[in-house]
Structure 1
Amino acid sequence: MIWRILDVWISPKHYQGLIIKDLVFDGVPVRVHWPQTSPAENRRGVMYFHGGIALFGTMRAFERTCCYIAHQSESVVVNVNFRLAPEHLYPTPALDCRTAAIHFLKHAKEYGVDPNRIAIGGDSGGGTIAAAVCQQLVARKDLPRVRAQFLVYPFLQAVDFNLPSYQQNRSIPLLFRKRAVKHGFKYLTGKMINVDGIIKGAHVSADIWLKHRKWISADNIPEEFKGRGYVPAVPPPFSEKLHELCKRGFETMFSPLLAEDNIICQLPETFILTFEYDLIRDDGLLYKKRLEDNGVPVTWHHLQDGFHGITVSFGLGPFEFPAARKCLQHVADFLKGI
């Protein structure tokens, strides 16, 4: 509840030189940001899905982020106000985002956007949704192909919560391990459950471990990320009860890292940003490897001086962390290149 109150308290910052309108894309509220200058041709378009584990966050709270990206990259940026759990459980938030993305791809020219230059992305849980939506859209041959995806410290898998970063950063704000897993499964199930067994891995069957171990393993994490007290975990006894409660968490809409190679290889050029002191840093590292192994071009930035959720501080004057602006500038620079 307190995070929803803070979302309202945090005031947006509008940039001069932008035209901003609240619209509805096939039933989904959005806020569209256009640069005022008249381009010689249709602009690139950007779909932004905000973070918050689909429990927190609002269009308003991420307005500063979207204004900055629109201004710096000279793009038309769509900030999507998708519905939140627990009022609207998984996969409703992701389906809202997919609906908005399909509308934008179909009607891009009506918004002054080149349909072949549309990027989809977001931060944290919004990055999860962006990755999942991009995977689902590869099968839509009736739509323009998504030009790029950008994922800022995304959560991408619900299999292994003992990867190096999950151990090293388990007590670093703003994303503590136990709280993150608890909120993630509240989005999934609508319930606040005891997650101690899930953190240990008791919800994962032998078949799932066997199938996904080649993708989700500390063996795929570069050695320089395995310090700071990392100890390989021993899987606990399997719990059928936990598995039944959590099994939808292995769907690719919730865990995009589990998608098959025949989907991954069709994904567009990708930007991934990770922070050293982020609980879910290794999700981004593992997805980077999977994409590159499947021939997808990846631009990766890793910031040593950041932690999860830091971009929320952007535009808050003395409360802004330097890495927040650096992060968003990397996103804008990537978008300018597509």
Structure 2
Amino acid sequence: MSLHPDIAVLLDMVQIGTESGARIPFPQLTATQARPDFDASSPLLDVDPPPLAHERRLSLPTRDGAAIAARLYAEREPDSRSPMPVLLYMHGGGFVVGSLDSHQPLCRGVATDSGAAVLSIDYRLAPEHKFPTAFEDAVDALAWIAREGAAAGLDRQRVAVGGDSAGGTLAAALAIEARANGDLPQPLLQVLAYPGLSSRQVSDSYSRYGSGFLLERDTVDWFFRQYLRDDSDRDDWRFAPLAVCDLSGLPPALIVLAEYDPLLDEGRDYASRLEAAGVAVDLQVYPGMIHEFLRMGNVVADALQARAAIGRALAAAFRTTDSERPPANMERHRD
């Protein structure tokens, strides 16, 4: 399918802004300068649903004694007598930008559409906190659900992990970590929205869409220079889940991809690897879309449709026992 016309208009505006100097690309900024620019894009690009009945800011401990902020979204007050299933959500932003605020509309929407609680975490960012700090913060947040979830009204037996872009990378790695760590809740679903999964960006889609489609090759390189300690970190599965040899025993996956995204091929490759390992996969490729489209509810209806699909998948996963899980359902192109 051709690029969606409204996405094409958005990309033209981005190009005009860059050429006029009104928009400065991230590689020309420091991380501190880039972060408010990224957060400021949310109210322009996205539709923010009304606040939910329960929105609470939390502070979660980490292994090194620090604390990270988190925000819990739910349609009702979570109660230990009637605990709610929960999605642990990691925002995108290349491990350098992004925040609780930048992804608030997305998290509100998913909480509404799924009927589950969404716990969004403000994991620590690079370059102040290099790899693997973001991954370790995600693990520690999942461990917090195991320890404290019941007291917070969350069902420790009905947990999913999810994220978009770099957050999708973290969610995929977190599912792998949980498989080997019996102290962590075992996710019933992993929601991976256009995740980065490969140690090297050499795919055909990266060549085709690495320039002119919002996520630029130079920006990805800038993100990784901030995040990685050295080049050897690229081969660590906590950064590149495709480096894992055995993907069997992982939770079912909903993988949401965009047709005009440099990361399209590695998402497809991961879906194929999961399916070959016996993992149920629902791969949804949205025609005409670009990276970050989930945060573009003001631009395209596909963003809200994709969020609703995530909500339905979560609701189904939280209703379904292991013996009732559906078989793998591979790629579906959205109309």
The interval holding the TM-score normalised by the smaller chain is 0.7 to 0.9
> Whole-Å Cα distance in 2 between the matches of residues 14 and 304 of structure 1?
25
What CA distance in whole angstroms lies between the structure 1 residues aligned with 2:104 and 2:224? Answer: 24
1:242 paired residue number: none
Give distance in 1, aligned partners of 2:136 and 2:293.
26
- Residues 10-89 of structure 1: pairs in structure 2 closer than 5 A: 10-11=42-43, 13=48, 15-26=50-61, 27-36=67-76, 41-89=82-130
User: Using the alignment, how far apart are the partners of 2:52 and 2:88 within structure 1?
Assistant: 19
After TM superposition, give the deviation of residue 38 of structure 1 in Å. 7.7
Residue segments in structure 2 that go unaligned for 5+ positions in a row: 1-28, 62-66, 318-335
1:105-126 deviation line (CA, Å, top 9, x unaligned)? 3322222222121000100000
Secondary structure, in 3 states, of the residue corresponding to 1:324?
helix
What is the SS of the residue equivalent to 1:88?
Answer: coil
- 2:300 matches 1:321: yes
Contact between 1:185 and 1:246, CA under 8 Å: does it hold in 2? no
Q: Is the 8 A contact 1:44 1:114 kept in 2?
A: yes
Contact 2:78 2:152 in 1 (8 A): no
Q: Identity across aligned pairs (percent)?
A: 27
| Deviation of the 1:127 alpha carbon | 0.4
Question: Counterpart of 1:62 in structure 2: which amino acid?
Answer: H
User: How much does 1:14 deviate?
Assistant: 5.1
d(CA) in 2 for partners of 1:142, 1:299: 27
The separation in 2 between residues aligned to 1:304 and 1:61, in whole angstroms, is 24
Residue 293 of structure 2: aligned partner: 310
3-state DSSP of counterpart to 1:180: helix
Q: Does 1:4 align with 2:35?
A: yes
Task: State whether residues 205 and 265 of structure 2, in contact with CA within 8 Å, keep that contact through their aligned partners in structure 1.
Answer: yes
C-alpha separation between the residues in 1 aligned to 2:184 and 2:168? 21
**Equivalent pair of 2:113/2:307 in contact (CA under 8 Å):** no
Please tell me whether the aligned partners of residues 172 and 277 of structure 1 are also in contact (alpha carbons under 8 angstroms): no
**How many angstroms does 1:15 deviate by?**
2.5
Determine the structure 2 residue equivalent to 1:172.
Answer: 212
**RMSD (Å), alpha carbons:** 1.9
1:210 aligned residue? none
CA contact (8 A) 1:105 1:118 kept: no
Deviation at 1:142, TM superposition (A): 2.8
Q: Does 1:101 find its partner at 2:86?
A: no
Tell whether 2:309 aligns with 1:274. Answer: no
Once the two structures are superposed, the pairs formed by residues 184-223 of structure 1 within 5 Å of their partners are 184-189=224-229
Q: Is contact 1:116-1:144 (8 Å) kept?
A: yes
Which amino acid in the other structure matches residue 265 of structure 1? S
d(CA) in 2 for partners of 1:156, 1:302: 16
1:37 deviation in Å? 7.0
Give the number of aligned pairs: 276
